[in-house]
Amino acid sequence: MRAPLSAWALAPLLVVCACAPRTRGSGADFAGSGSVQHSGNGWTGASPEPGLQRGKATFYGEKFRGRKTASGARFDPDAFTCAHRTLPFGTRVEVRRPDTGQTVQVVVTDRGPFGHDNRIVDLSLAAARTLNMTKLGVVDVELRVVGN
């Protein structure tokens, strides 16, 4: 009789735990990079250099003008914004092309890129122009969080 009684005593606890809202962590998991932790200045664990994420950048532009982003804001290709899979909306990120040294700062307003594990950020047309990547379409970049 004791085993069924303890099972009934644990059942409400399991229900409460199962129904509890999932908390959003500040970490970021990137495909193929293993465990990644977010720190005040950027990422650790995704790259040999702490606070840095390396991968490919793409961009999106006029076709998406005025469409709602995941944050609820309307997309403006002339603004310096980006889409990132996990960083909180409003996070300011520096994007750098290692081959040219060109940099741009953007704000996360959308989610993406999707479908390609090595792509880590979708940039607005304005940001892509600053990095001189519109003809190439996809370039290697380094990302670093610079503020919220």
DSSP the chain: -HHHHHHHHHHHHHHHHHHSPPPPPS----TTS---EEETTEEESSSSSTT-EEEEEEEE-GGGTT-B-TTSPBP-TTS-EEE-SSSPTT-EEEEE-TTT--EEEEEEEE----S-TTEEEEEEHHHHHHTT-TTTS-EEEEEEEEE-
Q: Which residue has the higher pLDDT, 144 or 2?
A: 144
pLDDT tens column, 73-124: 999 999 999 999 999 999 999 999 999 999 999 999 999 998 888 999 999 9
**Domain segments of the chain: what residues?**
25-147
Which CATH number describes the domain made up of 25-147?
Answer: 2.40.40.10
pLDDT tens column, 7-42: 545 454 444 344 444 333 333 333 333 333 444 444
- What is the reported pLDDT for 27? 35
- What is the reported pLDDT for 4? 58
